Amino acid sequence: MKLIIKADRLIDANSLDPLVNSALVIENGKIVEIISQDKLKIIDTESFDIIDAGDSTIMPGFIEMHTHMHVNSENDAYKQVTTESNDLLLMRAVKAVRETLTSGVTTMRDLGSKNEIAFPIKEAVNKGVIPGPRLLVTGTPITSTGGHCNSFGYEADTKDEVVKAVRSQFKKGADYIKIMSTGGGFTPGTNMREAQYSVDILKAAVEDAERLGLNVAAHCHGTAGIKNCVEAGIHNLIHCSWLSENSSEMFDYDPEITNQIVEKGLFLDPTLAIDRLNQIRDPERYKIRSVIKDPVKRFEILKDMWGKGVKFVTGMDSGMINAKFDDFAVIPQVMVEDLGVSNMEAIICSTKTSADCLGILKETGTLEPGKSADIIVVKGNPLDDIKLLSNVENIILKGKVIKRNDKLLI
C-alpha cells in the first residue's frame, strides 16, 4: 500500500520541536520519507492514497508498556481472573487487544497473563486473525509460592527454580521476563513492603535472561524489593512505590538508589495514572489507596527521580481495577499535570523512550525513514493541550489504516 499523510504539524519524537506543514510518505508498511507539503507538488502522487488531516498532528503511535489482557478492569477483577475458564479469558483478551489498538496504541506489552492466553493471542495478532497492536508478551509472571499473582503465575522459590522459570518462558516465546520482587495489592495476603526474592536470585534471573537475549521487568512496591532489583540490574522497574518495611511509615525513599538507577540506565514504569482513574471512577477506592500511598507525596518522589534523570516509560497496568484498555492517553496527561514535565517530554516517553526499553527502537517509536509506519494523527495540537491525545482520528499500524477520519476500519 502507498500512502501519504499530511497535516499542519508532525512530531517525530526525536526533536523537541514539531515540523510544520509536513507529509509522511509510506510504502510497503514503511516510512519512505518525511517532506514538506510543498514538495508533494513535484511527486507523482496519483498512485498514493492521501490522508489530508489539516489542523492536526502526526506522531508515532502510543506504546503501552503494562497490560494484563485477560483481566476485566472491574471491581470483581480478582475473582474473575481466578475463577473464569481459559476459554472465557481468551475472549476477554481478544476484546482487550482490539480496544488497546483502537485507542491509538500501536505497540503493547502484556506484562503478565496466563501462558494459555498470552501466546495464542500474540500468534493470532501476528497472523491477522484478530486485530491488535504490535504485541510483546511475558506470558506467566514468575512469583514466589503464594506470592503476588500466584493464581496465574509460575511459582518458583530457589535460584534454580527461578532460572528454570526464565528458561521455560523463553522456550514458550516470551519477549520479556516478568518477575514479582514484592507482594502486591491485587493479590490478597501478599506483603507489598517486603522482598519476595533476594538479590542473588534476581541477579541469576537477569544473567540467564540476558544470555537468552531477553530483558527482565520486576514488580516492586517496597523499598527492600526496589533495592534488590537495582543491585541485580533489573532492566525495567515497575511501580517503584518506595514503601517502607516499617508498616508505621509510608515511604522510605532513597535518592542514592535513584542515582544507581540512572547510572545503570534502568527504565521506570511508575504506573502513575491509575490513581487518577480511581479518583474519577471510584473515589472511595482512591481514598482507601491514598492511605497506603499518598499520591501527593509519591509525586514528590517521582519528580525527584525524573529530575535526577531516570528514564520513564508509559504503562497503565490495564486490566487492573478501573484501568481500562483504551485509557492510554491519561498517562501523558498525568505526567504533564502532576509530574510537571513538558507536553513534548510526555509524548517522547510515550513513544521513543518506551520503544527503547522494549528493544524495538530500530523498528518503531519515532517517525523516521526506514521505520515501520506505526502512526497516529491527533486532532489539534497536543503540545498546547495534552488532553488532545485522547482525540485520535487516524491510526496506521505497519502501513495499514486502522482508523480513518474518526471511522474504524476493523
Q: Which pLDDT tens digit goes with each residue over 216-240?
A: 999 999 999 999 999 999 999 999 9
Q: What is the pLDDT confidence band of residue 250, given thresholds at 50, 70 and 90? A: very high
Q: What is the pLDDT confidence band of residue 275, given thresholds at 50, 70 and 90? A: very high
Q: What is the pLDDT of residue 44?
A: 81
One-letter amino acid for residue 115 of the chain: N
Task: Please return the burial class of 319, using the count of CB atoms within 10 Å of its CB with bins 0-12, 13-18 and 19+.
Answer: buried
pLDDT (mean) for 140-145: 98
| 61 pLDDT higher than 90 | yes
CA dist., res. 13 & res. 350, Å (int): 9
Q: What is the pLDDT of residue 6?
A: 97
pLDDT (mean) for 140-152: 96
CA dist., res. 57 & res. 24, Å (int): 12
Q: What is the pLDDT of residue 1?
A: 79
Whole-prediction pTM value? 0.97
Domains observed in the chain: 2-61+366-408 (2.30.40.10), 62-328 (3.20.20.140)
| 46 pLDDT higher than 90 | no
DSSP string, 58-109: EEEPEEEEEE-TTS--STTHHHHHHHS-HHHHHHHHHHHHHHHHHTTEEEEE
Would you tell me the crossing angle of helices 223-232 and 199-211 to the nearest 10 degrees? 40
Q: Which residues pair with 372 in a beta bridge?
A: 30
| 183 pLDDT higher than 90 | yes
Could you give phi then psi for residue 227, rounded to 5 degrees? Answer: -60, -45
279 three-class SS: helix
CA dist., res. 178 & res. 219, Å (int): 8
For residue 330, which of 102, 99, 64 has the smallest C-alpha distance? 64
Mean of pLDDT over the chain: 97
Q: What is the pLDDT of residue 41?
A: 81
Q: Grid coordinates in use for 314? A: 508509559
For residue 61, which of 258, 292, 355, 409 has the smallest C-alpha distance? 355
pLDDT (mean) for 319-342: 98
| 192 pLDDT higher than 90 | yes
| 43 pLDDT higher than 90 | no
Q: Which pLDDT tens digit goes with each residue over 373-392?
A: 999 999 999 999 999 999 99
Q: What angle do CA 349, 354, 356 make, to 5 degrees?
A: 120
Q: Is the separation of the CB atoms in 316 and 274 below 8 Å?
A: yes
Task: Give the containing element (helix H, strand E) for 350.
Answer: none
CA dist., res. 3 & res. 11, Å (int): 18
Q: What is the pLDDT confidence band of residue 42, given thresholds at 50, 70 and 90? A: confident
Task: Please return the burial class of 185, using the count of CB atoms within 10 Å of its CB with bins 0-12, 13-18 and 19+.
Answer: middle
Would you tell me the crossing angle of helices 159-172 and 199-211 to the nearest 10 degrees? 30
pLDDT (mean) for 278-305: 94
Q: Is the separation of the CB atoms in 320 and 71 below 8 Å?
A: yes
Q: Which pLDDT tens digit goes with each residue over 153-170?
A: 999 999 999 999 999 999
